[in-house]
Structure 1
Amino acid sequence: MEADFRAMTADSRLSVADAGANLQAPTSLSIDVEWLAYIGLALLALFLRATMLDSAPISDAEARQALHAWHTVEDDAPGAFAVSSSPLTYLAQLTAFSLAGANEFNARLASALAGLALAMSPLLFRDNLGRTRTFVWAVLLSLLTTPLAASRTADGASFVLLFTILAVWMIRRYWYSLRLRDAYWATAFVTAMLLLSGPGGVPLLVVLLLAGWLAVWRTALSAPQRLELPGDDILQMAVTRTREFPFGKVLLLPAALVAAAATFLMLNPAGLSTVGQLIESAISGVFQGRSAGGARLGLAVLLLQEPLLIVFALGGAWLLWKHGDVTYVDRFAAAWAALGAVALLLYPGAGPADSLWVVVPLTLLASYGITQLLVNRRVVVLWSASDGDEDESQGESGLLYSTQYWWAKWAISAAALLCLFILSVQFMQVARLLAAAPIGSSLGDLLALLSDPSQLRLAQGLGLLLASGVIAAIVFLLVANFWGLGTCLQGTGIGYTVFLLLSGLGGAWQASVAAAHYPDGLWRESAVAEDAYLLRDTLFELADRHASGFPALEFTIVADNTGVISDNGLMTWLVRDFPNARFVRAASAADGQPIIIAADDPALTAAISGNYVGQRFLLRRRFVLNNLDRWDLPAWWSQGQLNANRFEEEAVVLWLRQDVYDGVAPD
């Protein structure tokens, strides 16, 4: 029975691997080219994850993670002691800050490297999936919006998914080998995912356990038809494998691994607090959402930023079923994606990066469909062909087939990509014009507005968009009538794949770099403004002026109840190099101090008496997804743009006592 079950997966692997046989030549040169392609892809993925990693100030959530490591390195750092909820992120930041100092790049570097490792993790399944499909999966994980944007933030989501993939790979190895060494490694990877990476590992483990058993159950149902085996045998085998797992021998490994990793080999015993904070954050996520407006951010990121991926994944799943190439790994990925989407809906604590719970299995399913697009198939020739063509044959239906027109799908893909660019440009132009519509306008109001001569550009844009779509559909039908529907669908699919990757790159760059100072309601409900760096630079200028260039400047920061300034968030990170910075809870406690930082609030300003000169710094812009107007949606979705009047601004004021402003050293 065991041999039959192994044969089931082996046969399915061969069928999937052979799907791209036309692309795979069994020569040493092809192997060299394959690994050169992986090296190039890895360098590109690293470049995209590390370039301008410090271009945006660290967010409040990232600051709380980084401040734990910084307070461990610098005992006299200002602010309250914060505890990180990701032990591995804390460990990496502690190492980086000790060696190279505390800055945004070092705070995010570990997450970027984890994202790079996640992008290359499909190589672990190369023997099962085949060379072409494995590479396609790696390309998707390297270039899509969600994996790329998540790896550029200092939270544990990339670590969670990396160790999830490693755990799935090692559990699969143990299934076939039954070696104790594989059981140890599987336990270590599951422990790292659950207790060392981030709060998202706890609900994700529940999803994976349910997906694993659901995939076993579905395999058992299909066994009588596909394998001529009783389904009960497969269920019994799964139960037997579970019971045979050496739980007693690996029982102490999780505790030892957590103690060693969280405490940095017992050099920092206080690091164990990060494990407790991880568990507390995971439990609180059941009752407390990440969004101020109650939106499910992870699900919103999935639906709004990866719609093409969902389409490709559904297509890949359908092709797997149609071709009979479904393996247990594919069933597991489908169950994982479905249950992960339900978890994103039901678990309020899921953040935008936690959409990786679904994106990763979707990329695996989509990779099969994209691989099928690359296979060179015989082209249907719907015109009279000469009798001298050696590679043409007459089919039963009277149609001629030829392999000499392999280039047709690539020409169609280029045309499809051009059409997509034209349609996207037209759509973005209309989206920008729609954003100027009055807030709360109904569809009837908009139609009435189109008759206004001042809205001529909007009417023309809508007309051009509609005309472009109709022309694209007509061209598709004509090409399909000439080259055959199969070839036309292949070429169009390749064009959509390239468009998917390019839009993924653009979306990630928009979220992480280009618009990092503006909130989008998904990745950033609260975006740190450019003035935050200006405030920090101003403090260093004052230190040059009054403290001989050393960050020994003494100043007072008023922590307010509205959350603009807290003693364990963004402001603490901005003043991290000033050990003499002091936080107070009331403005009256700062009255008379030479240098004061307080929120831009009339009540706080009135509480500060004396002669002061102040400069206002915009600290944050806020935007909640629930406040998105219907006519803002197209521009926001396609370009990440919102009118500035949609934002709520939070500012602080740097107050200098008049004598300090005049150049007298602070007393």
Structure 2
Amino acid sequence: MGWLRIPQLADWTMEAWAYVLLGCYATATRLFELGAAPLAGSAARDAMWAWEQARGLPVPATAVPNSALLFSLQMLLFWVGGHATEMLARLAPALAGIALVFLPLLLRKELGNIGALAASAVLALSPSLTAIARSSAGVGLALPLAALTAVGVWRWQRNQSAPSLLAAALAAGAGLASGPEYIAAIVALVIAALVASPRSLQPWGAVLRTGNWWLALGLALAAGSTAFLQYPAGLAAAGDGWGAWLAGWTATPGPTSFWTPLVTAVLYDPLAIGLGIIGAAIAARQIPAARYLSVVSLVVVAITLVDPQRAAIDVGGLLIVISLHGAFAITWFFACDWGGQRRQICALHAGGLFAVCCILYLVLGAIAAGSAGSIGQTGWGLLSVLGVTLAILWLITALVGTWWDWEIARRGALAGFVLVAVVWAAATSWALNHTRAGSAAELLTGDSISPHIRLLADTAVQASLRARGTSQDAEIVVLGPPAGALAWALRDFANVRYTNALSATISAPIVITPGELVDPVLGSQYLGQRFNFELARGRLPADLPGRLNYVLFRKIPVSATQLVLWVREDAQLQH
């Protein structure tokens, strides 16, 4: 373990400022334009229920939100804010995602100062974890709480610290209210403990017989699921998490590939995956914490592969674990003699590798655009490009190793990879969460709603002004259920009525129907306008340029259902 004895960051202020910068970056990426994409699917439904509960309106007796904890926090935020917005609906997971970035601080003893800082940087830069934090889904709370539970348990087993056990109990209580994703994470951690060190579970017999553990867990569960007793039915929703988790294993396998979560991890987070694999190879045999992290990673991968649902967002747990592994790779990087010109040689080596990768990106972009001639028409052409690139990368590294030394050559190769992966992560994160926010083309988006839904709501406001003189008081009749993205978009209108069938005698100034309804039986006095509604990603193109277009630029066919907004003719013409 001598290679771990590296110079620590002598000046605490430098380390503190590094964490401040990471915190600023994490805050900016997770909060900037947080409400840009419309809420979709069950997220919109649950947010609508939370808004109704915050206003004191009755919530359907059968309403069971996916995450009781998120529902409670949304209800409190809506009540404090006095209004329901996409930003407030997503705020709690976003704040939890920011807190997750600082989780390695609790493991500085195991990871080292530099390793903990590196792990925090990988967590902050992760596009997938950023997207999860910006989603209005229980998984955005479940993953940080599962990580906090695991760290609290780890600290308690190392030094029998009562505060660590209390933190683990509180996190477990809140986590059980956050949804089935937390249960899946805890099951993975228990399986990993059984595989890596069965004796580590022996002390838990005494813990589980004490009242303090169950008291802290119960209080956190009750407070988290009921919004501090403001929504008692939340306890039933929290209890449904176990049923939802078990039902997921008996459900019909989804249409996506078994490899979707792993492909998502490689496509969006090569930095975390690459550093994690390197860190595991370096430290797993020498450090117990690294060995346990390796077992957890393998268990999470195995569970992900056999999960019938196979959602891309399932990759979050793996990325947290493997990001901690990356700390050992960065620790190894700094654990050498950096005297003389070694720093300059390493920097030049990394810069050369980065330049070659930039050229490769331009060539692949030309193939995707169809401007590379015959080279981009077959898989052999692509393989030849990749082969030549790998040969050049190896040649540069071999020259540095031969003319200087292999210790610096290996570290220069790692630095070059990190530089390329950081640029990829920053660009991917910006596109995923801003320029393509909510796009159905992204694997991590899940349910997707067209921004046209807001244009529909604005059009309804204008029609209400003409019909009633106020922006939100006109009667609106909706052919469909009172839930989902449409109900959320119309949440500010005071007189919305949902129905299963339209009458020929209907007189409401505004009517909304599904786009596939050819004849809504409204008569000639209504004029309709179509708006895109639910979006769905098409199949990946079979040709090579099409596949590269998706990998590099997320270009893929997207289909859309439609809604029709019908406005009574006299309301349209009235001034």
Q: What is the CA-CA distance between 1:128 and the residue it aligns to? A: 2.2
Residues in 2 aligned to 1:530 and 1:92: alpha-carbon distance in whole angstroms: 25
Q: What is the CA-CA distance between 1:290 and the residue it aligns to? A: 8.8
- Structure 1 residues 112 and 16: alpha-carbon distance in aligned structure 2, compared to 1, 3 A threshold: farther
Residues in 1 aligned to 2:252 and 2:133: alpha-carbon distance in whole angstroms: 22
Alignment partner, residue 263 of structure 1: 226
Alignment partner, residue 399 of structure 1: none
- Structure 1 residues 319 and 469: alpha-carbon distance in aligned structure 2, compared to 1, 3 A threshold: closer
The 5 A counterparts of 1:210-225 are 210-216=191-197
Residues in 2 aligned to 1:316 and 1:360: alpha-carbon distance in whole angstroms: 14
Residues in 2 aligned to 1:76 and 1:95: alpha-carbon distance in whole angstroms: 14
- Structure 1 residues 304 and 465: alpha-carbon distance in aligned structure 2, compared to 1, 3 A threshold: closer
Report Cα offsets for 1:455-474 as digits up to 9, x if no partner.
xxxx8x99877765554444
- Structure 1 residues 374 and 591: alpha-carbon distance in aligned structure 2, compared to 1, 3 A threshold: farther
Report Cα offsets for 1:584-627 as digits up to 9, x if no partner.
11244785543211111144x35433332111111132115x65
Alignment partner, residue 37 of structure 2: 56
Residues in 2 aligned to 1:199 and 1:614: alpha-carbon distance in whole angstroms: 42
Alignment partner, residue 145 of structure 2: 163
Q: What is the CA-CA distance between 1:532 and the residue it aligns to? A: 1.3
Q: What is the CA-CA distance between 1:661 and the residue it aligns to? A: 1.9
The 5 A counterparts of 1:117-136 are 117-136=99-118
Tell me if structure 1 keeps the 8 A contact 2:258–2:305. Answer: no
Tell me if structure 2 keeps the 8 A contact 1:148–1:508. Answer: yes
Q: What is the CA-CA distance between 1:408 and the residue it aligns to? A: 1.2
- Structure 1 residues 325 and 85: alpha-carbon distance in aligned structure 2, compared to 1, 3 A threshold: same
Alignment partner, residue 187 of structure 1: 169
Tell me if structure 1 keeps the 8 A contact 2:283–2:291. Answer: no
- Structure 1 residues 555 and 47: alpha-carbon distance in aligned structure 2, compared to 1, 3 A threshold: same
**Counterpart code for 2:203:** R
2:248 equivalent to 1:334 = no
Alignment partner, residue 205 of structure 1: 186
**Counterpart code for 1:67:** M
Residues in 2 aligned to 1:641 and 1:651: alpha-carbon distance in whole angstroms: 21
The 5 A counterparts of 1:103-142 are 103-142=85-124
- Structure 1 residues 345 and 435: alpha-carbon distance in aligned structure 2, compared to 1, 3 A threshold: farther
Alignment partner, residue 241 of structure 1: 203
- Structure 1 residues 464 and 316: alpha-carbon distance in aligned structure 2, compared to 1, 3 A threshold: closer
Residues in 2 aligned to 1:534 and 1:574: alpha-carbon distance in whole angstroms: 10
- Structure 1 residues 501 and 90: alpha-carbon distance in aligned structure 2, compared to 1, 3 A threshold: same
Report Cα offsets for 1:165-199 as digits up to 9, x if no partner.
22122212322343555433322222322x12222
Residues in 2 aligned to 1:556 and 1:16: alpha-carbon distance in whole angstroms: 70
Alignment partner, residue 68 of structure 1: 49
Tell me if structure 2 keeps the 8 A contact 1:70–1:94. Answer: yes
**Counterpart code for 1:492:** A
Task: Give the TM-score of the pair, scaled to structure 1.
Answer: 0.79
- Structure 1 residues 650 and 205: alpha-carbon distance in aligned structure 2, compared to 1, 3 A threshold: same
Alignment partner, residue 86 of structure 1: 67
The 5 A counterparts of 1:588-627 are 588=503, 591-603=506-518, 605-623=519-537
Tell me if structure 2 keeps the 8 A contact 1:79–1:572. Answer: no
Residues in 2 aligned to 1:179 and 1:376: alpha-carbon distance in whole angstroms: 35
Tell me if structure 2 keeps the 8 A contact 1:111–1:152. Answer: yes
Residues in 2 aligned to 1:162 and 1:533: alpha-carbon distance in whole angstroms: 32
Residues in 2 aligned to 1:140 and 1:590: alpha-carbon distance in whole angstroms: 61
Tell me if structure 2 keeps the 8 A contact 1:115–1:158. Answer: yes
**Counterpart code for 1:113:** L
Q: What is the CA-CA distance between 1:64 and the residue it aligns to? A: 2.1
Residues in 2 aligned to 1:258 and 1:486: alpha-carbon distance in whole angstroms: 51
RMSD over aligned CA atoms reads 3.1
User: Given the alignment, which residue of 364, 387, 390 partners 2:324?
Assistant: 364
Q: What is the CA-CA distance between 1:245 and the residue it aligns to? A: 2.3
| 1:251 aligned counterpart, secondary structure | helix
- Structure 1 residues 483 and 102: alpha-carbon distance in aligned structure 2, compared to 1, 3 A threshold: same
Residues in 2 aligned to 1:265 and 1:146: alpha-carbon distance in whole angstroms: 31
Alignment partner, residue 285 of structure 1: 248
Alignment partner, residue 648 of structure 1: 559
Residues in 1 aligned to 2:463 and 2:372: alpha-carbon distance in whole angstroms: 43
Tell me if structure 1 keeps the 8 A contact 2:513–2:520. Answer: no
| 1:524 aligned counterpart, secondary structure | coil
Task: Give the TM-score of the pair, scaled to structure 2.
Answer: 0.90
Residues in 2 aligned to 1:211 and 1:583: alpha-carbon distance in whole angstroms: 49
Q: What is the CA-CA distance between 1:304 and the residue it aligns to? A: 3.3
Residues in 1 aligned to 2:163 and 2:385: alpha-carbon distance in whole angstroms: 63
Q: Structure 1 unaligned runs (5+)?
A: 1-11, 218-234, 379-401, 438-442, 451-458, 560-565
* Identical amino acids, percent of aligned pairs: 22
Report Cα offsets for 1:335-388 as digits up to 9, x if no partner.
11111011112223453332112111111112211232233436xxxxxxxxxx
